[in-house]
Amino acid sequence: MANVLWLQGGACSGNTMSFLNAEEPTVVELVTDFGVNILWHPSIGLEIGHQVSDLLESIVAGKTQLDILVYEGSIVQGPNGTGTMNYFAERPMMDWIKDLSKVSGYVVAIGDCATWGGIPAVPPNPSESTGMQFLKKEKGGFLGADYVSKGGLPVINIPGCPAHPDWITQILVAISTGRIGDVLLDEFHRPKTFFTDFVQTGCPNAISFAQKVDGQFGKRGGCLFYEVGCRGPMTRASCNRILWNRQSSKTRANHPCLGCTEPGFPHNDLVKGSVFKTMKYLGFLPKSVPAGNTKAGYYARAGFEKAMGTLDKVIVGTRPQFESSK
């Protein structure tokens, strides 16, 4: 039996909605098959008012065991570091997180706001929001770079806007069954089992990417990286391997990947015109290039491949065309 407490800070509840739609395993299966005991959740918990604050105080005092602290949303530290912009159970939420993180077996941050600060942390960041252990790519966040839970791990980050539901439930299963030690974390504390492949892996437009064929938003054919801001080639996530609703993904529906599992999200700090548009130098050189490439190297190779593709079209267009036999 693993006791789980789920709290929300600066959040839209999108990750809760995602979590409740999990399929492998479902939320019900978490409880019935894997011994997860949800002490309280803001959307499905039965306790209200002082019942909740009494539970939190019992956990902090060590009377109620807390195996997994799940946190959704940014840590709101404003104004002026007081945290009073986000009050919960008669205290700033950040004060509860500070105390609860000291007694929890493991801490799991769900979604971009909890992992990197997300949209609330975009400058000028009036709420002084940050992630649990990161602010964008900078390690530290609210709990500090050196934080480790009682289980010996840093904050386990499951990013996404929202995070895929099965990423969430499978990590909770790994902890509750004592197998979290088999899960490797990357430099941003993401489980490698979900965040090693790129979104481009499994994308039906991958051939168009290789052939430098431009695509358009919502239309079949062509790659959305060149004009519509798709970040699939530099975003680590299993969206095209573990499909959403077991059916599809953004890129399979010809919607550009927004790179929401990377610590830079939202990219370009939501500068006007940057969300569904590839940002470029000199009007034709993409500012962001696929992971593992230098900009100079990618520009040179992409230019050569583009030229060869154009030449091939010209050659094919000049060849005599013959009707097939009937």
Please give the Cα distance from 93 to 265 (Å, whole number). 24
Q: Is 161 annotated as a binding residue?
A: yes
Closest CA to 6 of 50, 63, 47, 61: 47
Please give the Cα distance from 107 to 193 (Å, whole number). 18
Q: Is 257 annotated as a binding residue?
A: yes
Helix 50-60 / helix 93-103 crossing angle, nearest 10 deg: 40
Q: Is 113 annotated as a binding residue?
A: yes
Both tokens assigned to 5: 């407490």
Q: Is 239 annotated as a binding residue?
A: yes
Q: Is 193 annotated as a binding residue?
A: no
Please give the Cα distance from 264 to 117 (Å, whole number). 10
Q: How far apart are the first and last CA of the chain?
A: 72
Q: In a 3-state reduction of DSSP, which class is residue 114?
A: helix
Q: What is the DSSP string of 54-84?
A: HHHHHHHTTSS--SEEEEESBEE--STT--T
Our CA dihedral for 70, 264, 255, 21, rounded to 10 degrees, sits at 0
Q: Is 234 annotated as a binding residue?
A: no
Q: Is 12 annotated as a binding residue?
A: yes
Binding residues for [3Fe-4S] cluster: 239, 257, 260
Binding residues: 12, 113, 161, 203, 223, 230, 239, 257, 260
Binding residues for [4Fe-4S] cluster: 12, 113, 161, 203, 223, 230
